[in-house]
Copies of this chain bind each other. A is one copy, B any other.
Amino acid sequence: MAKKTPTPRKRLPQAEREAQIIRDSIPFFASRGFSAPTRDLAEHLGIHQSLLYQYFPSKDDLIDRLYREMILGRWKREWEDWLRDREVPLKDRLERFFRAFTDGIFSYDYMRFFFLAWMDRPYARDHYSNPVQARIFRIISSELRHETGLPDHDAWPMSAAELEMHHAFQSSIFYYGVRQFIYGVTPRMTRDEFITQQVELFLAGAPIQLRAMAKAQNAPAS
């Protein structure tokens, strides 16, 4: 048997090696699941297994770190401004927001990693109980009410029914990504077409529902 050629070693500065481990571990765990052995991970990274433990105290710490890296800086504050800009038609605002938002999360790595975390790590709920942040509900609700000629939240607090209506809207969009990357089924419309369609559907149905709620709940006049 021929002697194995010695591994060509690449020495990187600490910061770079750490960044590489983090970057390349995400797709690894996303596809293999968190129970995949560290030896396989090391092979995937092109390093020896023991090196992992010089950068991270344990496998769990590494995974926690990956988790935090992924949620950090994903939310863009300006999206909220986009949504509130009444110079632009609401339909366009919503489309623009959902395109930007889903840009960041509709990927195999992101979707799988987060579902794995939700199934496996109890803390995932606390940090990010739903990828569509709750604050966005308030803004969209506010804009929709304005569009529909209904009072704002001070005069008429958001009911469970209204909140759930927004949940349903956003979940229909989010589920496009679930179908694509969790179920592995390619939807038959492009993401952009789908978002356009869903926004139109929402803007057609929601005002009717909202007015019915206002009537049923005796909302004050606008």
Contacts and interface: CB of A to CB of B under 8 A. Distances in A.
A5 B172 CA distance: 55
Given A168-B201, A171-B175, A175-B171, A185 B115 contact: no
Size class of the A contact interface (CB-based, 8 Å): 35 or more
Contact of A112 (B119, B165, B168, B189): B119
A164 interface: yes
A33 interface: yes
Chain A binding surface SS class: helix
B125 A184 contact: yes
A197 B164 contact: yes
A160 B183 contact: no
A150 to B, nearest CB: 16
Contacts of A118: 182-183
Interface in A189-222: 189, 193-194, 197-198, 200-202, 204-206, 208-209
